[in-house]
Amino acid sequence: MTGWETGRDAPSVDGMTDIDRNHPSAGRALAWTLLVLCTVGNLALSLYGGALVLHIALGVATVVCVAALVFTYLRRTR
């Protein structure tokens, strides 16, 4: 039996969101992957000694990944 045959009301669609908002996107997965790789790379450079330019490049990439993740989070929650 379906909901129509039992006399129950149909579910409301008010307040429903786009289904894509509840599933991780490829961009978010990429941002998380790059964030982890940049963090591990910066740790390795710190332990084994590395050029300052590489530290700065990985730091900038980390900030960009965090900004992208925050942006997508804020966009999904609004």
Q: Are 35 and 66 in contact (CB under 8 A)?
A: yes
Q: What stretches of 1-78 show up as alpha helix (H) in DSSP?
A: 26-48, 52-77
Q: Which two tokens stand for residue 72?
A: 């997508």
In which residue ranges of the chain is pLDDT below 50? Answer: none
- What confidence score (pLDDT) does residue 75 get? 86
Domain spans of the chain, in order of start: 25-77
Residue 34 amino acid letter: L
- What confidence score (pLDDT) does residue 27 get? 86
pTM higher than 0.95, yes or no?
Answer: no
